[in-house]
């Protein structure tokens, strides 16, 4: 699968205008010179050598220079880039990379006004992902895996070797529409939501 670069660029800009974007340049597992970029409910880890030009260009625009390995900045519209403390850098990266991503997911042909609904595993459990963020992986949505403990899903881009994570947004959906660890079948949950 391949990430939708246009959707990723749009998501980064949207996050920059909202709560901000964290940009870290790291040597992931000591092997790759990588960018680790996070926004509200999503994260991207991509080797620098495979980073699309528009993404790398936007990083340079926001930071006024290419970050050095080990640098970590928070950027938001209207503010100068701010350093991120070392302890927060480690927490951010481990939040996404420490998971056990083993549970397969299936994209349901159902959406709310703001979320795509995903059934995971052989169970009847549903997760919801914001449409803007989900657009990055929509073409290969069924190729992702979910960590059921954290409610975070992960996809891998075959060309860039990049990893993209999304957090389950089920708590933000209308009551009864979708819920992580829901015991009700997705179709029944949605029938209840739409028809009472």
Please give the Cα distance from 123 to 54 (Å, whole number).
39
Q: Is residue 43 part of a domain?
A: yes
**pLDDT tens-digit map of 4-52:** 999 999 999 999 999 899 999 988 765 689 999 999 889 999 999 999 9
Give the per-residue pLDDT at 31: 62
Q: Is 64 exposed, middle or buried (0-12, 13-18, 19+ CB in 10 A)?
A: exposed
Pick the last residue of a domain from 38, 72, 97: 97
pTM as predicted: 0.81
Who wins on pLDDT, 106 or 154?
A: 154
Q: Clarify whether residues 82 and 46 are in a common domain.
A: yes
Beta strands 115-120 and 163-167 are: unpaired
- Does residue 56 carry a pLDDT above 80? yes
pLDDT band, residue 168 (cuts 50/70/90)? confident
Q: Is residue 121 part of a domain?
A: yes
Pick the last residue of a domain from 34, 63, 97: 97
Q: Is residue 156 part of a domain?
A: no
Give the per-residue pLDDT at 181: 37
Give the per-residue pLDDT at 139: 85
Q: Clarify whether residues 93 and 111 are in a common domain.
A: no
Q: What is the residue range of 128's domain?
A: 103-147+168-195
Give the per-residue pLDDT at 115: 86
Q: Clarify whether residues 18 and 56 are in a common domain.
A: yes
Q: Clarify whether residues 16 and 93 are in a common domain.
A: yes
- Does residue 178 carry a pLDDT above 60? no
Pick the last residue of a domain from 97, 116, 133: 97
Phi, psi of 59, rounded to the nearest 5 degrees: -60, -45
The arithmetic mean of pLDDT across residues 167-183, rounded, is 49
Q: Clarify whether residues 91 and 127 are in a common domain.
A: no
Beta strands 21-28 and 115-120 are: unpaired
- Does residue 112 carry a pLDDT above 50? yes
Q: Is residue 107 part of a domain?
A: yes
**pLDDT tens-digit map of 61-108:** 999 888 888 899 999 999 999 998 887 877 777 888 887 888 888 877
How far from the centroid of its chain's Cα atoms is residue 71's Cα? Answer: 21
The arithmetic mean of pLDDT across residues 171-178, rounded, is 43
Q: Is residue 23 part of a domain?
A: yes
Please give the Cα distance from 193 to 187 (Å, whole number).
10
């Amino acid at each position: 699968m391949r990430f939708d670069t246009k959707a990723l660029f749009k998501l980064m800009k949207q996050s920059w205008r909202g709560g901000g974007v964290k940009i870290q340049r790291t040597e992931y597992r000591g092997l790759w010179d990588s960018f680790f970029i996070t926004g509200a409910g999503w994260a991207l880890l991509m080797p620098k050598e495979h980073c699309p030009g528009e993404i790398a260009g936007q990083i340079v625009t926001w930071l006024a220079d290419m970050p050095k390995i080990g640098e970590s900045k928070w950027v938001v519209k209207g503010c100068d880039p701010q350093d991120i403390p070392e302890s927060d850098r480690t927490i951010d990266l481990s939040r996404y990379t420490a998971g056990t991503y083993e549970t397969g997911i299936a994209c349901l042909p159902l959406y709310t006004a703001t979320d795509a609904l995903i059934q995971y595993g052989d169970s009847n459990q549903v997760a919801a992902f914001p449409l803007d963020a989900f657009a990055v992986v929509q073409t290969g949505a069924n190729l992702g895996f979910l960590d059921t403990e954290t409610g975070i899903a992960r996809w891998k881009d075959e060309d860039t070797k990049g990893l993209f994570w999304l957090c389950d947004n089920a708590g933000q959906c209308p009551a009864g529409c979708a819920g992580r660890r829901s015991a009700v079948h997705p179709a029944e949950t949605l029938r209840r939501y739409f028809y009472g």
